[in-house]
Amino acid sequence: MNILLIGYGKMGKTIESLAVKKGHRIAGIIDIHNQEEIKQVEADVAIEFSRPEAAYENVLRCIERKLPVVCGTTGWLEKKKEIETLCQQQSGTFFYASNFSVGVNIFFKVNAHLAKLMNGFTDYNVSVDEIHHTQKKDAPSGTAITIAEDILSNLKRKNSWINKTEESPDQLAIFSHRIDPAPGTHSVKYSSLIDDIEIKHTAHTREGFALGAIEVANWIVQEKKQGLLNMDDFLKL
């Protein structure tokens, strides 16, 4: 397939390397200096890993020209509903995931199930902890927010998350750390006076995220998928 690669940071370069090894072609590379070229490059699909301040316009340009777009940029989701509405109006294809790793998406399901189980055990307080490299711009990470939102959807005693250490009983604390080198670690801990219950996912390299995005893009092209899509659709979870 012919890929328009939008964003050329660490993730973009990893996607480029893996895609070429798998026999795909990089039709063009977009960064902050040539965003207008999104409207011109001929490609089968776009993969967008840029910056929070650029993601909305990048995705918008793809949808306006009816180019399927796979987006993994986090930190811009206050505008995601606008993109989804436009995508439906244009009969376009927009795939969004906060994390493209198969392991992380299995972790999401385990986390949601555990939160539901913990409704009956009020002695346990829950928190989310995430570690990323120092160049990551947003905190908490999009993956940590997904984890927190899944807990809030299933654990009745929590109604909001907060990114600091002091929370009220109905708030879920997310602790964010920026350490090099650290592709990404996420954990959920339920603590009581008696013991702790903890689940954790640790990424050893960012290749798992990059490979997942490439596989999703290929699936969209081969299956001619349309509409609003996510990892549940791809993995059939």
Q: Are 46 and 38 contacting, i.e. CB atoms less than 8 angstroms apart?
A: yes
> Nearest CA to 6 among 63, 73, 53, 65?
73
**Assigned token pair, 222:** 């081969």
Query: N- to C-terminal Cα distance for the chain?
Result: 26
Please check whether residue 119 is in contact with residue 155, taking contact to mean a CB–CB distance below 8 angstroms: yes
The active-site residue, picked from 33, 81, 132, 177, is 132
User: Which listed residue (136, 158, 186, 201) is catalytic?
Assistant: 136
- The dihedrals phi and psi of 226, each to the nearest 5 degrees, come to -135, 160
132 is catalytic: yes
* DSSP conformational letter for 182: -
Place of tokens 């219950």: 197
- Residues with a known catalytic role: 132, 136
